[in-house]
Amino acid sequence: MDAHEASITIDVAPNILFDRLSDVDRLPEYLPWLTSLHRTAESPVTAQGPEARRPHQAVREDVDVTVGGGRRGGWIDVLDEERTLRWGTDGPHEYGGELTVGFVADGTSKLTVRVHTTAAAPVDDELEHTLTTIKSTVEHHQPTES
């Protein structure tokens, strides 16, 4: 299995960046290769907030994703305290990864993405494109108020 890693500095505070990226429903806005993402089950009770789970316990969401015209099942783990999002998909090629949001300075974050896959694809180019898209989207677009 090949491992790939890339990082980028983003002019958004780490807590705000992670809040945006950990919103599972909005991931297709940030990930150019992800056509759609749908939960396959109700959000677990642990998704209701840190008080509903043990410290450093991940919130797992089971999802269906559409990538390049193909649909497959998968999962996403959100670890709020570590500002980490992990994922994996089912299918013929093992695929998974994680993103971590780190602190650089006031109002600046370091986003690191690691991808593990057995697929023969230009992963490094796609990873750089994904990071650039995330940076552009979060720096130049204000979040919509709910």
Q: Do 5 and 114 contact (CB within 8 A), yes or no?
A: yes
What does the pLDDT look like over 42-68, one tens digit per residue? 765 555 555 555 666 788 888 888 776
Both tokens of residue 124?
């490094």
Task: Provide CATH code, domain 2-140.
Answer: 3.30.530.20
Q: Work out the percent of the chain whose per-residue pLDDT is above 90.
A: 31
- What is the 8-class DSSP label of residue 37? E
Say what the pLDDT of residue 69 is. 67
Say what the pLDDT of residue 35 is. 75
Say what the pLDDT of residue 104 is. 94
Question: Does the pLDDT value for residue 8 go beyond 90?
Answer: yes
Cα separation, 37 vs 35, whole angstroms: 7
Say what the pLDDT of residue 146 is. 44
Cα separation, 74 vs 60, whole angstroms: 10
